[in-house]
Chain A
Amino acid sequence: MFAAAANYVLLTGPLYYSSLPLWITFLPMLAGIGIYFLKDHWEIARKGCALIVSFLSFIGVVLLFPLSLAGSVSYDLIDFMQMGLFFEVDLIGWIFAFLITLVWFLATVFSFAYMDFEHNRRRYYSFLIFTLGATLGVVMAGDFFTLFLFFELMTLSSFILVIHEQDAESMKAGMLYLYLGIFGGLALLFAIMMLFSATGSVDIVPAIELLGGQRTFIFVCFLIGFGIKAGLVPMHIWLPQAHPVAPSPASALLSGIMIKSGAYGILRVSLILFSSPAELPAPDASYLFILGNVLMWIGIVTMLAGATMALLQTNMKRILAYSSVSQIGYIATGLGVAAFLGIEGGMGFAGAVYHVINHAFFKAGLFMMVGTIYIYTHELELPRLGGMFKKMPLVGITFLVAAFGIAGIPGFNGYPSKTLVHDALLIAIRDYSLISFEVAEKIFVLTSALTICYFIKLFRGVFLGSVPEKLDRDYRLPFSVNAVLGSFALIIIGIGFFPNLILERILVPASEGLNYEGYAMDHLYHFHFFEWPPLEAMLIVVVLAMFIYIPGAYRGWFDWKPPWWLSIYALIYEPITHRILDATCRAGVLVDSSVDSAYDRSGIMARIWCKYIGNFDAGLDRFYEKTSKGARELADRSAEMDSKLDDLYEKTGKGARKLADRSTDMDSALDEAYRKTGETAKKLVNQTSNAERRLDGVYDSVGKKTREEINKMLSEKKKQRFDPAKWTTKNLSFDTLLLVLVLLIVMGVIFYFGRSL
């Protein structure tokens, strides 16, 4: 960072270390915080504090002049926020700082009278003074990081000034201002980050060669960031809403000073960052030519659109706000021309910076004059005003002076700066002779004519005509208001009569760091403002204005209200922001809720699965249960069968035993019978041995009969005991079957043999 800074020093002259820039910046900021803690009714202390602080910072800036003229003043707080806070005031920065402090001081004095009618003065003064510090920080910053820090602070603290009234309209305008301010801040931050990553430093030094392929991107981001603040078309939409709703001194500062911080940033980027100390190769040079052209055309479009819209307004402050847009267009045009002309760009640079100075004075003055009328009449609408020249002659005269200034009438301060920008365009036409520059020049002239037209409209509406009855009373302006308005008029006339003073003493030295040479610079040293060519151009403008205004006012062209849908807000901003926001939110909510419901659903699914598994489990359980029941039944049955079998066996055994017993009985009975028969026979033999022969036949037949009888008897007995029909083979297992079979065989054998006996 410091190596690069040292590089830059070689361009601009010696570097003086002084903590003065730090104090100039921080004193108002600290004082602003301090004022907030003063008690509500300490009116004098509050005003005194504000006055002293704004005066002190003015003195501080004046003290910086000799050093900035000789080189630049720098101071750094190393490592502040890890990047360091680096102040460096060269002459360009000094011009802005001087303007800021001077106009701020006057606005503070004007506030004393104006704000007595307003509420919440403690907050107003606190933020008024705080914003002074932040704005000074922007123009005294030595690198883009510091610049960004103060830029953001300025956006936030000036927001409080914008919404001071706190009614619905100012809140709406304020929110738009804040959102766009933050958006611009982020674009700026992005650009600075890209710059830092490309070059390794955030210094404001010529670095076009280092930027590489992302340079267009960086430039666009810078242009968005600073362009929003400056109010370049199409980023100007907040400006006509926010400037009118603020209290008049704050509007004066917003329009006169704060939008210049955007212009200052564009200047630093387009003329310093996107340039090179050395001769550039052809592709780079043509690249810069394109960038400059783009910037110039944005400026041209801005000036025309602003002037046209100003012509169509009826609210005093809105006219002035659109006029600011238009005037910023002049400044951007000058810067653009300076950027593409390269070393010949001195004229454009001088014109742009000169116009910054002039616009600060006449626009701040105009807002305060309008504000003066507003505090006494509470009217901002042109149709309800009129005849104020008689009631407030001093305001009328100063207003006329400021209007001449902004219209570019020779002898007032707008003339030299517009002439310089115009000459820069002429140089461009001479050098490049492109048709687009011719067109740009024509639009420039047309816009200047329109500027005169809307100021005639404004002046006629407010100061001429008859006084409305409601407002017909005597007005006494306090001295402070007269003094402030008077000093604006004096400054405007002073610069108008001695235009070369500022040009040669300040603007030409300021351009030294920028490598300008050639025709433009030679010409600038002794620029003859009061010669025929510039005066002729001015005359053309005035005549053209008459040709536009007279028929326009006669036919009521300027009362046409552009429909809402035609406004850039309705055409571009609202659809884009709403759609994008809506889409973002919807997409976010959709994704979020779908993830959430995916979880829920997967939970539900899991539960359902669990249910299934549970069912399966229960089924299995039932199955087991059934199986076991079946098994038990089976077991029961087999036990039954077993016992039956057992019974059967037992019975069979018993039967068998009985059978055996019986057969034993029978056997013994037979035995007995045999024995008895034998014994009887023996007895018979013994007894009838004598009558054997006689009775032989008798005995034989008797014996035969007896044996037959016995056999018959026995077989009958057997037939009675064993009845095979009673036996069942059901439920018999094989073994038992076998057993039974064996038994049957045994019995069959016995039976068989028994029968055969």
Chain B
Amino acid sequence: MGQMTIVAIIIAIVGFPILMTPVIMYSSRISEKLRNTLSVVTSAITFGLTLSLYPFVIGGGEIQVTVFEVLPNLEISLRLDILSFCLAALSSFIWFLCTIYSLDYMAREHACDRYYPVLIFTLGACQGIFFAGDLFSLFVFFELMSLIAYILVIHEETEEALKAGYKYLVMTIIGGLALFFGMIIIFELGGTVSLGVGVIIEETSTLAFLAFICFLIGFGMKAGMFPLHVWLPDAHPVAPSPASALLSGVMLKTGAYGLIRVIFHVFSPELIQSGGWDIVLSVLAVITILLGSAVALTQEDIKRRLAYSSISQLGYVLLGLSILNSNAVIGAVFHIFSHAFMKSVLFLAAGAIIWNTGKRQIADMKGIGRQMPVTMGCFSIAALAMIGIPPLNGFLSKWTLALGALDANMVIYVLVLLVSSLLNALYYLPIIIPAFFDLPGESSHEHHDQHKEIQFNMQDATPSMLSVMVILAFCTLIFGLTPNNIVFTLSRFAAQYLLGGAF
């Protein structure tokens, strides 16, 4: 493929969903079916287009193109390298599946005519973040995505949702302003904000540190980093479940992605380490991990528990980024993938349970595994992956991260990871074990004397919802189990690219 074709494809990946948004909005007037079909087709085409970049990227290709110049040295530009490809492919894949899941889930919800266009538009903005060639474009798409996603957050329009949405919006704007400030400093110091020049800032200074902190605030906000995470446990649970899955599974990752770009393309790992800035990141990451896990333990609402778990899991990614050696970066990128698969399954399965039974409290979910075996089976696989049970992908990412930490002689990080795993076990097992082995409502003393099989009326989610969950659960299994699987290879290549320039 020639360069022009690649650029055209990238523009299509970003532009097509955005262009389709009004079409979908209009089509909802004609029929619901057309609207749904168009949404699925759009996300499928986006995913397909993203995948078509694979041969170019895996061949070591890298593209940086200016689309148009806004001001001298300030431009909207596109960039394609292995890292953007990884995240774009991941996000469009999860988006595609979540759109399919939405079809049945949202059928019982109101305001679908608003939901689908917003969903698809957010996809475009999200892809735009991953393909942005400079901080300015990244900022523009980042703001676009964050603000539009507000509509997904408040979809229920309950008081709770509106309150959470308000919090989300305020914090997003604060984060956006921090990013903007950081960007201005970088522009002032380096004369450019392009990600294609290698390293923009070459020596430490107070101003550069200030810029780093600004980026940390802006992107850390999105990634749910410790003092900035407060919006997350409010906003994620109130959104409709497919949107929660996307918020937690994909949109959080834009923050991590931004930080990767900042660390490796604006500054450089050596600069970060020589300035001791990585300590800031690692301290925050450790607090994030432990705090998220500990608070998740106390949550009784299943989606809130999952949201806190997301905070803790994103902490792993940040920890990997703060260690900044080969294994740790592989682990961080791989954990972005792993967490996307795991957390999407968890949110979708929790959504299916809520959709089917209306139960949100964990205490009410006894015996739900017999009523919805496939849903709960997927949930269990993903939860075990979260705990880090081999051979699921969560284990592999923890293993790689821990090796990175040990390479850096930081045994304490390994302890943090393991303590967090133990806490994960403590808050996931009480969901899945009673779900399969406890009986709802009654005391379970007498039945074993009667020696009879307990019959439940099995009523699982619809086939399309189930298939989505099964595919994602299968991903958590297959990307841990199989040797040199595509995801791990991509993560390794991405880490090599980031650390060494080539792979």
Contact = CB atoms under 8 A, between A and B. Distances in A.
Asked if A pairs with B, the answer is yes
Contacts of A152: 389-390
Given A80-B483, A82-B488, A119 B391 contact: no
B448 A189 contact: no
Contact of B290 (A82, A120, A175, A588): A588
B230 A156 contact: no
B293 interface: yes
Given A119-B447, A149-B391, A591-B291, 7 more contacts: A82-B396, A82-B483, A148-B390, A168-B444, A171-B437, A175-B433, A182-B425
Contacts of B229: 595
A607 B421 CA distance: 41
B330 to A, nearest CB: 9
A584 interface: yes
A40 B425 CA distance: 31
Given A80-B483, A149-B391, A179-B425, A588 B297 contact: yes
Nearest to A597: B230
A693 B426 CA distance: 158
Contacts of B447: 119, 166-167
A163 interface: yes
13 contacts: A81-B480, A81-B481, A119-B451, A152-B389, A152-B390, A174-B437, A186-B422, A189-B402, A193-B402, A194-B411, A196-B403, A585-B298, A588-B297
A77 B443 CA distance: 47
Contacts of A156: 384, 389
Contacts of B295: 585, 588-589, 592
Q: Which 5 pairs from chain A and chain B are nearest by CB?
A: A588-B294, A197-B406, A79-B483, A588-B295, A596-B230
B369 to A, nearest CB: 12
B27 to A, nearest CB: 41
B297 A166 contact: no
Interface of B: 170-171, 226-227, 229-230, 287, 290-291, 293-295, 297-298, 384, 387-391, 395-396, 399-400, 402-403, 406-407, 411, 414-415, 418, 421-423, 425-426, 429, 433, 437-439, 443-445, 447-448, 451-454, 480-484, 488
Contact of B483 (A40, A81, A588): A81
A585 B299 CA distance: 10
Contacts of B443: 168
A612 interface: no
Interface of A: 40, 77-84, 117-120, 148-149, 152-153, 156, 163, 165-168, 171, 174-175, 178-179, 182-183, 185-187, 189-190, 193-194, 196-197, 214, 581, 584-585, 587-589, 591-592, 595-596, 599, 603
A77 B483 contact: yes
- Chain B interface main SS type: helix
Given A81-B390, A193-B399, A197-B403, A592 B429 contact: no
Contact of A167 (B170, B444, B482): B444
B422 A117 contact: no
A167 B445 contact: yes
Contacts of A588: 290-291, 293-295, 297-298
Contacts of A153: 390
A626 to B, nearest CB: 37
B291 A194 contact: no
Contacts of B170: 603
B87 to A, nearest CB: 21
B8 to A, nearest CB: 37
A82 B298 CA distance: 35
Given A82-B483, A149-B390, A584-B297, A193 B414 contact: yes
A190 B413 CA distance: 11
A119 B429 CA distance: 24
A189 B418 contact: yes
A475 to B, nearest CB: 18
B483 A166 contact: no
Contact of B438 (A171, A581, A599, A603): A171
A81 B226 CA distance: 31
Given A81-B391, A166-B448, A584-B297, A119 B453 contact: yes
B484 A119 contact: no
A117 B291 CA distance: 48
A524 B407 CA distance: 45
A190 B415 CA distance: 8
| Most A C-beta atoms less than 10 A away, residue of B293, B415, B426 | B426
B451 A118 contact: yes
Contacts of A214: 411
A588 B298 CA distance: 9
B415 A168 contact: no
Contacts of B414: 190, 193-194
A168 B399 CA distance: 35
A581 B483 contact: no
Contacts of A187: 418
Contact of B298 (A40, A197, A589): A589
Contacts of B171: 599
Nearest to B287: A591
A166 B452 CA distance: 13
| Most A C-beta atoms less than 10 A away, residue of B170, B291, B407, B443 | B291
| Most B C-beta atoms less than 10 A away, residue of A83, A190, A584 | A584
B442 to A, nearest CB: 12
Contacts of A603: 170
Contact of A119 (B227, B426, B437, B454): B454
A589 B451 CA distance: 44
A189 B425 CA distance: 15
B222 to A, nearest CB: 16
A183 B429 CA distance: 13
Given A178-B429, A585-B297, A165 B230 contact: no
A40 B447 CA distance: 18
Nearest to A118: B451
Contact of B294 (A82, A182, A589): A589
A197 B287 CA distance: 25
Contacts of A193: 399, 402-403, 406, 414
Contacts of B429: 175, 178-179, 182
A179 B437 contact: no
A186 B170 CA distance: 40
